[in-house]
Structure 1
Amino acid sequence: MKITGIDALQKKLRKNATLDDVKHVVKSNTSNMNKNMQNLAPVDTGDMKRSITSEFTDGGLTGTTGPHTDYDGYVENGTRFQAAQPFVKPSFDVQKNVFKNDLERLTK
């Protein structure tokens, strides 16, 4: 009895494990950024803080998070009547470095 294709199977399994690892990194970083935004979001009624949600697409390879109110941009960037109270950009600035380090760790 002879089994052929073992090398191709092992290569495919290694590739799939790597994709699962990438999906895990995407999910954990998206979730952490979501929590950071919720912690930094200014609260008046709590609507904006509650509107911060995450969504995963592309089979888990893409994660999106952010607020979903009509006024979150005004809070983030300010207006001529109101000073900016950034919560999205500071969360992103912290998380992008963590995400980059996590992905670099996977390639080693």
Structure 2
Amino acid sequence: MGKGSFKINGLAGLSKKLKKNATLDDVKTIVKTNTAELTEGMQNEAQVLLTGHWEGKKFVKPTGTTKRSITMQISNNGFSGHTGPKTEYAPYLIRGTRYMVKRDFFFPPLRKQKQKFKSDLERLMQ
């Protein structure tokens, strides 16, 4: 690995590295903060992209169900964060169908938050 990079597999390696630099509570805070920011980013993106659709000649206004279904959960004693839409039709919105263009409110915020999460952990490791 190059200079300035790190690789840690599992909580044991992470715990060992953090004993010198920080505490596991700092990691839990980073996980919680980044999960909350990702949830908010997905909700904002859904608000912008999901503006309604046409059914024949009738325009159907959005109900906001998909945006409201994007919730976060923290598990694994604070070391794992999960977020995303819970509606069963969300994958069709994200990827599109042959009849509908995609309205990807999922991956752009995920890519953005992934970089921030990685930099937060790297800062903690130094």
Normalised by the size of structure 1, how large is the TM-score?
0.84
Give the Cα–Cα distance (whole angstroms) in 2 for the partners of residues 75 and 18 of structure 1: 40
Runs of 4 or more consecutive aligned structure 1 residues displaced over 2 Å after TM superposition:
none
Corresponding letter in the other structure for 1:21 = D
Larger radius of gyration: 1
In structure 2, the partner of 1:97 is 115
Corresponding letter in the other structure for 1:107 = M
- Deviation sequence 1:22-57 (CA, Å, 0-9, x none): 000000000000000000012511000000000011
In structure 2, the partner of 1:29 is 34
Is 2:102 aligned against 1:84? yes
Is 2:50 aligned against 1:45? no
Give the Cα–Cα distance (whole angstroms) in 1 for the partners of residues 105 and 32 of structure 2: 20
Shift of 1:18: 1.4
List alignment gaps of at least 5 residues for structure 2: 1-17, 52-61
Alpha-carbon RMSD across the aligned residues, in angstroms, is 1.5
Kindly tell me the number of residue pairs found equivalent between the two proteins: 95
Corresponding letter in the other structure for 2:104 = P
List alignment gaps of at least 5 residues for structure 1: 1-13
